[in-house]
Every structure is written in structure tokens, then in C-alpha cells.
Amino acid sequence: MKIFSGSSNQALAQKVAKVMEMSVSPVEVFVFPDGERRIQIQEDVVDEETVVVQSTNTPVDTHYIELFFIIDGLLRSGAKSVTLVMPYMGYQRQDHVFRDGEAVSLDVVVKLLEALKVDRVITFDPHTIKLREFFQTDVVDLSALSLFAQFIKEKGWDSADTVLVSPDMGGLRRIKKMSSMLSNMNWIATVKDRDLDTGSILINRFEGPLPVAELKDKRALMVDDMISSGKTISECASFLKSNGVKEIQVFATHPIFSKDAPKLLQVSNADMVYVSDSVWIPEEKRFEKLKILSIAEMIAGELGL
């Protein structure tokens, strides 16, 4: 087996390779003055099982194109198989037609990957529960929830003074799964409205098995699959504080951190923000409240360590 990496998250590829007592094989990525990319696989891969590590976060299109070329280069060079480790998959939120005339963007990128004949795809906490339905290829969707649950147990946070919170109703499956990992910890969800044109968020109320009155003086563990603009997390944290919560810890698998999200999270009512390294966070987007937990061992285990 040989491991290759695109440019989106080389640090994660290095961690995975280290766990597996391997090294990342070289790929040359040359960018022409007009922005076109040329990819060269710089190692013999004839009859080798190969792995490509590449999240497709910002810049999404660039990372996808680079990925397509790496896969094609490996197969043209005689690779026996290609396993794609894509912890974060761009366009997964566009899994159906929201308005007339729209493309189903997730379906398009899946068809491109399948046309390239990828043998297996490993991803983490997909936003859409329908992801497997789009693929004919074998898809393994791992979850950082177990990583977060273990961290929470090590902290000694339990139902005596702690409650799980989903920042929206779309995360009910996730929060129930997390609850089962933590001895059926109590949970509650916020109900929000989002303006699709402006992106503004209004949180109206809570729903769930925990009475709102019991939030007072609790520690809230907010769990989500990703943080993009940071607005949902910030608004939910403020709403929790206004209902008497004393401490707020945020857990999210994918730190997309678009635009001013890091600044918004730093000044929010969240005490800490824990994320996985599914997406590389550049130094300019790191902030004091941020802590990164690694999924490298989980990936290595799935690859057959």
C-alpha cells in the first residue's frame, strides 16, 4: 500500500502515514500561470494498492480538480486500486433540488469520481444521510463522534451536570447517537429559522426530552457535523446562556470556518470549540478557544492497520 496526498490536508496524510509506519509518497503539483494544474505521480505504483488523502474544502473546486488528476495519474501509472480518504466532501449539502432549475451538485461530483473508477471512499460525518445512495462505489462513513465521546468521558462530564445540545433539528440523529455513547446523557435541540437569501438565523425555542427549566446551571455540550459561518453556533450559545446555562463546550467534525467564523467563535459565549483535523486549519484561522483532535488513528484503522 502507498499513501498519496493532495494539497488540501497534507498534515493529516502525514499523521495517518506515521500511525501506519509508512511515509507519504511524492506527488508533484505544478500550477501554470493561468491557474491550470499539472499532476505527476513520482513513485512506481504498478500493481500497488494506493490511498489518496484529500478533503475538498475551500477552495472546493481547486481541490476537486487536483483530486481528479491525482486519481487519473495513479490509474494511468498502473495502480491496482485507489481508496479515496475524503474526510470532508465538498458539495454534500447540495444533495437535492432546493429551487427549480438547480443542479444536484453532489450527484455531479459523485459521477465524476465513479467515472474515474475509485474503488472505495472513506469519509466522516457526511451532512446528508443519503450519501451512500449516490454512490455505486463502496462508501465507508466514519464518525468523529466516538472521538468526541471518549474525550468527554476523560473529562468526567456526565448527566449529573451536563446536557447535550443539537444546534438545529437537522442534527437529531447525531445528538441521539452521541447520547447513546454517553450512557444516554440528556439532550435538547434548538429550533432555528434561516433566511436563505441573507443567511441570518433566528432561534425560536428548544425541543427534546429535557425540560428547558433544567438547563439552568448546566454544562452544555453542543454537537454538530460542521462549522461554516459560525452563526448557528454563536446564536445557539447566546440562546443557551439566556436560559441559564453556565458553560458551553462545542464539538464539530468539520472546521470549514468560512469568512469571519474564527472571530465570531472567539467572541461567542462558547467556552471552547473542539474540532477534528478533517480539514486543515491555517494559522490565520486558529483562535484561542480552538482545540483540534485527530482522526488519523481512525483512518489508519479503516485502512487496515
Sign of CA dihedral 19, 224, 248, 214: negative
How far is the C-alpha of 251 from the C-alpha of 175, rounded, in Å?
11
Please confirm, yes or no, whether 263 is among the known catalytic residues.
no
How far is the C-alpha of 103 from the C-alpha of 182, rounded, in Å?
40
How far is the C-alpha of 296 from the C-alpha of 20, rounded, in Å?
10
- Name the active-site residue from 2, 15, 192, 218: 192
How far is the C-alpha of 249 from the C-alpha of 148, rounded, in Å?
11
Cα-based distances in Å from 178 to 152, 153, 183, 186, 223:
11, 12, 9, 10, 8
Burial 15-48 (b: 16+ CB within 10 A, else e): bbbebbebebbebeeeeeeeeeeebebeeebeeb
Containing H/E element for 302? helix 296-303
Residues noted as catalytic: 192
